[in-house]
Each structure stands twice: as C-alpha cells, then as structure tokens.
Amino acid sequence: MMKDLKNMKIGLFIPCYINAVYPNVGVASYKLLTSVGLDVDYPLDQTCCGQPMANGGFEKDSTKLAHRMDDLFEKYDYVVGPSASCVCFVKETYPRLLEKEEHECLSSKIYEICEFLHDIVKVNHIDSYFPHKVSIHNSCHGVRLMKLSSPSELNIPKYSKLHNLLSLVKGIEIYEPKRVDECCGFGGLFSIEEPETSTCMGEDKISDHMATTAEYITGADSSCLMHMEGVIKRKKLPIKTKHIVEILSASL
Amino acid sequence: MSSHAKAAAQFIKNTERTAWHDQALFFVRQKRDNVAKNIDEWEVLRTKASQIKEHTVSNLEHYLTTFEKNAKANGIQVHWASDADEHNKIVAEIIENHKAKKLVKSKSMLTEECELNHFLEENGTEVVETDLGERIMQFLKLPPSHIVLPAIHVKRQEVAEIFNKEIHTDANNSDPAYLTQAARMHLREKFIEADISMTGVNFAVAEEGAFVVCTNEGNADMGTSFANVHIASMGIEKLVPNYESLGIFTRLLARSATGQPITTYTAHYKKPAKGKEIHIILVDNNRTEILKDKDHSNMLKCIRCGACMNTCPVYRRTGGYSYSYFIPGPLGINLSMLKEPKKHSGNVSACSLCYSCSNVCPAKIDLAEQIYKWRQDLDKYGEADPMKKMVVKGMKKVMGSPGLFYAAIKSGRLINHMPRFMVYNGLNDWGKGREMPVIALKTFNEMWKKGEVRSNESSKNK
C-alpha cells in the first residue's frame, strides 16, 4: 500500500479558518504527511469550501466555490484536509452541487487527515512526544458523518480513529469527556444565529473536558476548537485547545 | 434573530434551570443508550421499523381499508376525519349522542394537534387529562413542553403550589410520593364519574382491526375500564400491518422514550365489551400531503417516542416553549414546517446540525438532514434572516475571489480580529460569549508562497 501511495500526488486542502487563523495546523499537516513519505502539494489561493453558506440555508451559493475547489484539486490522486466538517461537506454535497457522479469529482478522493492516516496510510508508528494530558473532542460531523469514532447513540462496536492515532504518541495521557460526543455548539451559522445557546453549549462542553483533568482539548475540527477557544479566553479557563495534527507532529 | 433564538436567550438566562433541564433530559437519553446497548439486534430493529413504516405508508390506502374492515367486523365504530375540525366535531357528536358531560383522557398528541380540549370545554364538556404530567399542565393552563414528559420543565415545588390551589394539598409538601398519591385520589373520582374515556393510539394493527395504547401510569386502562364509551383518536400513519410487525415497535418505543424495556401498560383493544362502545377516529389532518413530499415523507414514520428531544443539545438547553409549535425539538421543527412554514420558520435555526437525533430515532428518520433541507427553503418562503442573507452573499463574493479573500484577511489583521464576513455579521453576536479568533501573522497561503512550509527532512537539510 505504502509503495503505491509514494507515487501518488497528495493535494493539501486548507480550509479558510485554518488559512487565516490556524496556519500552524496547515504546517503540521504538511509535516505529518511528508513524514510518512508522501508527496504533498498545496494548490495556491484556496479560499472556502462553501459549507458556511450551505448550512445557513444557501447551498446554491456554494456552487461556484465547489467548481473552484474541484478545479484546484483536479490533478491530485488524493486530497487531504485537517477539518472533518469541511471535508465532509465536500464529500456529501459536491456531487449534487457539481451535478456529477461522486467518482467524477473531488468527493471520491477527499479525506480528513486522521481518516487518511488511519485507513489509507495505515500508520502504526508516529515519531511524536507530547507529555501532556489531552481530552479528545469528538466533533459531530467527525463522528456522525465521517465515522471517525463510533457514535454514542448506536449499538455498534466501539472504536475511535483519533484515539488510535493519539495512542502512538509517546508520553501522552488520553481522556474523553463524559458526554463523549455531545455537540460543542459551534454549528457554523448557528453560532451567531443562536449565540446564547451556542455559547451555553460551548461552556458545558468545556466543563466536561476540564473534568477529565486534561490540559488540552484536541480534535480533528478547527472550527469547534475555535469556538471553544473563544469561550475559554472569555472565561479565562485553565485549559487550551490544540488540533490533533499539532500533537501528532509535535516532534517533527 | 429568529423567534427560537429570542426565546432561547430568555430561557438560558436562568442558568440553574437550564442546567437542570439539560441534565434531567440527558439522563433519560443515557437510560435509552444503556437499554439500547443491551439488545444485540438494536440496529436491526431500527432498520426493520423504518422499513415497515416505509412499506405501510407507501400502501396506506390498502392498510387503512383493511383496518377499517377488520375493526368494523370486531364491532369497533370507525370514523374518518380529514382535518382537526372534522375530528373535533365527530368527538362532539359522540358526546352529544350519549348526553355525556364528563370526559377523561389519556395522553394524546393528536388531540393536542387538533386543539380538542379547548373545543370541548367551550361546548360545556368537562375534560380531565389523566396522565399525571398532562394533569399538571392542565392545572397550569399551559401546553406540554415535551411529548412524552409533558411537565419535565416544572419543578416539584411548583407542582405542590398548583396542587394546593386545585386539589388542596399541603402547599409546603413537595414530596413526590405525597403529590402522586394526592393526584391518584383526585383522578380516581374523575375516572368513576366519567361518561366517556378518550385515548390516543400508539399503533393500529391492520390485519387484526385492533389497536394498542401504551402508558406508564395505567390511566388509559382505568379510563376505558370505567366509562362505557371509549373514543380513540389516531393519525392515519399509526398503522402497522400485523402483530408480528407490532412486536418490533413495542420493543423500540419505551426503550427509545424513557429507557424502560417496555411501557408499564401496553393495552390492546380489539372489540368492545358487552354493553360498551369503542369508536376510532382516523385523522388525516395534512398527513396525505406530507406523504406526497419526497423530502419529508419520512416524518410519517414517527412513533412519537421523544428520543430526538432528549438527545437534542439545543432542546435540552432551551426548553419546549422556545419553539413556536406545540411539538418542540427536532421532530417539532420538521412537523411545524410541514404545517405552516411561514408561521414556524423561526424554529429552523434551533439546530447545530449535530445529527444525534437521526442516530437515536427508532424509525431512522433523517431528522437533521431534513432540517438542513428546510434551511435551503427559507429564502423561498421569504423567511431567511436578512442579516444572514447579506452575510452569505458577502461571503460568496469574497470567497469566490482569492484576491478579495486574502485582502480581507490582511485588513482584518490590522484590527487584530476576524474580518466581518468570517464571523458573519456586524452586530457581533459571536462576541456575546466568546472572544474573537485572532488572525495569524501570515496565512498558510503566504507561508507556502514564501517557502516557509517545510517538512522535517527539508528543514534538516538546510
């Protein structure tokens, strides 16, 4: 598998929030993917996948962006991005927006980075040392749409791709909140359409993470982390957020 | 701001009550998880339930006429109502034919939907809700805030207060056992006096011409055992083909609703006892319209267990009354939009698209996916929030052009916060409870252009 993958062109998808606010998550993603021997490229001038408009009720306004993304990544064998929610949006709605079959467009070859490392690269060794307590943020779209872990509602065997990957990190102590995959209240436009509810959900979620005694909340969705970071800073809470790729690449 | 967002902000102001409401309902959700995980074939049951409902509503005419024929053969009197008005008139007629004065009811969401109580009381009939939670709400003159736990938002001290006023209990005694006993004594009188007993219908079995009413308090059974006339109101989607398929649903209902293996009472009605009457009213009230709607016909699979409410992180924190429809939560958002989209579009924002509701639904209704679809329709109904619309149009323009996008980030950096279009609006609803995200000194795009994004190997080589 790895032999074939080494000849593949990997396109790095950097969502708008990561580009503007968390470029280090992009850098960490690049380091992580190249560290396992992959040929990674970043097609310049990416903007947004269109999810915020669509979740707010204006899916048709994302069509142009979908075409733009589809063109930008046309020449790549795989497209990998460090955001479960954005990747999921591309996967699920682009065939409809582009009026193409899934295999004809970006949807069929895009992966969330943890999913990619876990299922496609099948990493069993990561050279990372992170001597801290972390609490996994199982994001809604990561869990319930991308199937990164078993949703708490379903009676299916328990698994967690994020947990498996973090377990490869030396020195780390991994925790999960009691309400293991309860929504943090971000929800795209929901966060400003229902700011009180969104913030209340965020505060509850952070309390749950804090109860684990973790120093960091980590996950595969920058947008959830950004929302929680906003609450943490406002309330001056003793916990930090860190994207999972930054932990997996801590020694790179 | 949507009507839900406004009401939610009010509800959340009382942080203590919000936390209590959230925890009480999440506790029910956890009980549901525990029992669901004790059934190996749980996910198979959900799939089967979904398929049986799909099959039944797709062949609704066949199953309705089969049910009618078999129920009549059993001696049940069958009535048809195309809407709420017709339903209420049929009930009134039966009451009049029996010169009845007093009616007891077990819990029925359909009669709430038809606003029956109000109609009957105006016509001089005494209507007594016999489900404890419903009776509390009737005393309080308020609608239920949850379809299975109607008084979940009421604290026991408030129950003590209203019971003191209505049935003269000790106002200072809010002991649940004491209050329940008092309600039992009070309701017993009502059961004995009743001329007519009304129930809803959880499931009707077409091949048998029979129906099933599930309660935990046995109040439906008490009512129908005393009164000589039993009127059952049923939405036409409540049919299942046969007893075999019924077994799937009785296994799912209580487990999904409250985390019990089965409701304490599962009463089967098939034929009236000697000297008694059973009437069943089959109510459409917009259901055949829903059936035609490809995007939303799945709503007819609903067995009204309330699991989607218990799991909904928005409902748990905002309470039933922050929704404009009598059914709240993910179920209510969808049903209210099917009822009157213009009137109820203010509920559509009450969803963070976490998809938990779709996962707990015992009939596998795509509740969250449908809410996403309703959002796409708001503009068509002229109900999209103008501010949101403006923001989205702005985003579309900026995101469509890398030049504009990176220029906007640059200007945002100067004032050290996110450009407006990325936090969506100018009133800064983001900042109400959160600090603004800080723009990085360089975007990833700039770093890449300048060759600053390097792998470990290449940085070692330099």
Please report whether residue B332 resides in a domain. Answer: yes
B219 in the same domain as B174 = yes
B228 & B314 share domain: no
Q: Return d(Cα B81, Cα B282) in angstroms, integer.
A: 6
Give how far Cα A190 sits from Cα of A209, B221, B276, Å.
Answer: 22, 44, 54
CA distance B6 to B259: 32
Whether the predicted pLDDT of B462 surpasses 50: no
Of B433, B445, B448, the CB nearest to A195: B433
Considering the domain architecture, whether residues B5 and B53 belong to the same structural domain is answered as no
Dihedral sign from CA coordinates of A189, A194, A195, A200: negative
Q: Which residue of B has its CA nearest to A189?
A: B424
The pLDDT of residue B414 is: 63
Interchain contact, A252 vs B456, CB within 8 Å: yes
pLDDT (average), residues B221-237 = 97
- Which ranges in B59-140 belong to alpha helices (H)? 60-73, 84-97, 109-113, 116-122, 132-140
CB contact under 8 A, A20 and B314: no
| pLDDT number for residue B384 | 82
Which run of H or E residues covers position B395? helix B386-399
Cβ-defined contact of A57 to B388 (cutoff 8 Å) = yes
Query: Distance between CA atoms of B142 and B210, rounded to whole angstroms?
Result: 33
Counted domains in chain B: 3
Instruction: Measure CB to CB from residue B433 to each of A50, A145, A231 and give the nearest one.
Output: A231
Question: Looking at the structure, do residues A35 and A90 belong to the same domain, yes or no?
Answer: yes
**Contact: B445, A46; criterion CB under 8 Å:** yes
Q: From chain B, pick out residues whose CB is under 8 angstroms from the CB of A231.
A: 433-434
Q: Quote the minimal CA–CA distance from B354 to chain A in Å.
A: 5
Q: Nearest-CA neighbor of B263 among B49, B107, B151?
A: B107
Whether residue B314 is found in the same domain as residue B407: no
Quick one: DSSP state of residue B230?
E
Give the gap in angstroms from C-alpha A117 to the nearest C-alpha of chain B.
Answer: 17
Query: Would you call B409 and A19 a contact, using CB atoms and an 8 Å cutoff?
Result: yes
Q: Are residues B74 and B186 in the same domain?
A: yes
Is the pLDDT at A101 greater than 70? The verdict is: yes
Q: Which of B337, B444, B457 to mutate to test the interface with A (most CBs of A within 10 A)?
A: B444
Note whether B367 and B399 are same-domain residues: no
Domain check: are B146 and B79 in the same one? yes
Q: Tell which wins on pLDDT, B392 or B356.
A: B356
Predicted confidence at residue B419, as pLDDT, reads 56
- Count of beta carbons in the 10 Å neighbourhood of residue A5: 18
Instruction: Please give the mean pLDDT across all residues of chain B.
Output: 93
Mean pLDDT in residue range B369-390: 87
Both A10 and A112 in one domain: the answer is yes
Task: Give residue A227's domain range.
Answer: 133-248
Has residue A128 been placed in a domain?
no
The answer to whether A34 contacts B444, with C-beta atoms less than 8 Å apart, is: no
| Contact (CB<8Å) A196/B418 | no
Instruction: State whether A116 and A8 are in the same domain.
Output: yes
Q: Which residues between 379 and 398 in chain B have a beta carbon less than 8 angstroms from any beta carbon of chain A? A: 379, 384-385, 388-389, 392-393, 395-396, 398
Of B40, B392, B447, Cβ closest to residue A58:
B392
Boundary residue ending a domain (B367, B382, B397): B382
What backbone phi and psi angles, to 5 degrees, belong to B163? -65, -35
Residue B138, domain extent: 42-288
Same domain membership, residue B280 and residue B143: yes
Q: Which residue has the higher pLDDT, B389 or B301?
A: B301
Residues A189 and A217 in one domain: yes
Partners of residue A47 in chain B, C-beta under 8 Å: 398-402, 405
Put simply, the answer to whether B439 touches A21 (Cβ < 8 Å) is yes
Which residues in chain B (299-358) have CB-CB distances under 8 A to chain A? 311, 313-314, 317-318, 348-356, 358
Residues B388, A202: C-beta atoms closer than 8 Å? no
Q: Which of residues 18-77 of A touch B (CB under 8 A)?
A: 18-24, 26-27, 30-31, 34-35, 40, 42, 44-48, 50, 52-62, 64-65, 68
**A:B CB pairs within 8 Å:** 245
User: Is residue A165 located within the same domain as residue A219?
Assistant: yes
The reply to whether residue A193 touches residue B385, judged by beta carbons under 8 angstroms, is: yes
pLDDT tens-digit map of A64-76: 999 999 999 999 9
Kindly report the number of other CB atoms within 10 A of residue B88's CB atom: 22
Q: Pick from B382, B402, B419: which residue ends a domain?
A: B382
Distance CA B155, CA A245 (A): 46
The C-alpha atoms of residue B216 and residue B150 are separated, in whole angstroms, by 13
Last residue of a domain, one of B333, B359, B382: B382
State mean pLDDT over B360-368. Answer: 98
Query: Amino acid identity of A218?
Result: T
Do the chains contact at B447 and A145, CB–CB below 8 Å? Answer: no
- Please check whether residue A252 is in contact with residue A31, taking contact to mean a CB–CB distance below 8 angstroms: yes
Whether B24 and B51 share a structural domain = no
Contacts of B447 in chain A (CB under 8 A): 23, 26-27
Residues B141 and B283 in one domain: yes
Does residue A146 contact residue A88 with C-beta atoms inside 8 Å?
yes
Query: Rounded to a whole number, what is the distance in Å from the CA of A30 to chain B's nearest CA?
Result: 7
* Domain end (from A69, A88, A121): A121
A131-188 pLDDT tens trace: 999 999 999 999 999 999 999 999 999 999 999 999 999 999 999 999 999 999 999 8
Contact A47, B402 (CB under 8 A): yes
Does B233 fall in a domain?
Answer: yes
CATH no. for residue B168? Answer: 3.40.50.10420
Instruction: Name the 3-class secondary structure at A219.
Output: strand
Residue-wise pLDDT tens digits, B411-452: 777 655 555 555 544 456 777 888 888 889 999 999 999 999
A15 and A77 inside one domain: yes
Question: Is residue B460 over pLDDT 50?
Answer: no
**Using CB atoms and an 8 Å cut-off, which of residues 146-165 of chain A contact chain B?**
151-156
Verify whether the Cβ–Cβ distance A16 to B317 is below 8 Å. no
| Cβ <8 Å between B395 and A52 | yes
CATH of the domain at A107: 1.20.1050.140
**CATH code, domain with A235:** 3.40.50
Overall average pLDDT of the B366-394 stretch:
87
Q: Are residues A33 and A97 in the same domain?
A: yes
Position B456 confidence tier, pLDDT thresholds 50, 70, 90:
confident
Q: At what angle do helices A84-98 and A222-235 cross, to 10 degrees?
A: 140
Which residue of A6, A12, A18, A21 is the best one to mutate when testing the B interface, meaning the one whose CB has the most B CBs within 10 A?
Answer: A21
Instruction: Give the C-alpha separation, B109 to A59, whole Å.
Output: 34
- DSSP H/E element including B336: helix B329-339
Residues A36 and A92 in one domain: yes
Q: Which two tokens stand for residue B211?
A: 């129906």
Q: Do B444 and A42 touch (CB under 8 A)?
A: yes
Which residue of A6, A19, A72 to mutate against B (max B Cβ within 10 Å)? A19
Give the H or E element holding residue A93. Answer: helix A84-98
- Report residue B245 as tokens: 């398929």
Q: Which of residues A121, A142, A175 is at a domain's end?
A: A121
Buried b (16+ CB within 10 A) or exposed e, B357-378: bbbbbbbbbbbbebbbbbbbbb
Distance CA B365, CA B350 (A): 18
Q: What is the residue-averaged pLDDT of chain A?
A: 95
Q: Select from B9, B42, B395 the Cβ nearest to the Cβ of A53.
A: B395
Does residue B228 sit in the same domain as residue B254?
A: yes
Share of chain A above pLDDT 70, in %: 99
**Confidence (pLDDT) at B407:** 87
Q: Kindly state the percentage of chain B with pLDDT values over 70.
A: 95
Whether residue A107 contacts residue A95, with contact meaning beta carbons closer than 8 Å, is answered with: yes
* Number of independent structural domains in chain A: 2
pLDDT band with cut points at 50, 70 and 90 for residue B253: very high
Inter-helix orientation angle B15-36/A195-210, to 10° = 60
Give CA–CA dist A173/B182, Å, rounded.
Answer: 54
Check whether residue A110 and residue A17 sit in a common domain: yes
**From A35, A194, A234, residue closest to B456, measured CB to CB:** A35
Q: How many Å lie between the alpha carbon of B409 and the closest alpha carbon of chain A?
A: 7
Question: Which residues does chain A have within 8 Å of residue B347's beta carbon, measured at their own beta carbons?
Answer: none
Locate the chain A residue with the closest alpha carbon to B376. A57
3-class secondary structure, A60:
helix
CB contact under 8 A, B356 and A24: no
Q: Give pLDDT tens digits for A47-70.
A: 999 998 898 889 999 999 999 999
Q: pLDDT tens-digit profile of A180-239? A: 999 999 998 899 899 999 999 999 999 999 999 999 999 999 999 999 999 999 999 999
Residue B226 lies in a domain: yes
In this prediction, residue B349 carries a pLDDT of: 95
B400 near A CB under 8 A: yes
In a domain, B21, yes or no: yes
- Specify the pairing of strand B77-81 against strand B277-283: parallel
Q: Indicate if the alpha-carbon torsion angle B340, B392, A84, A175 is positive or negative.
A: negative
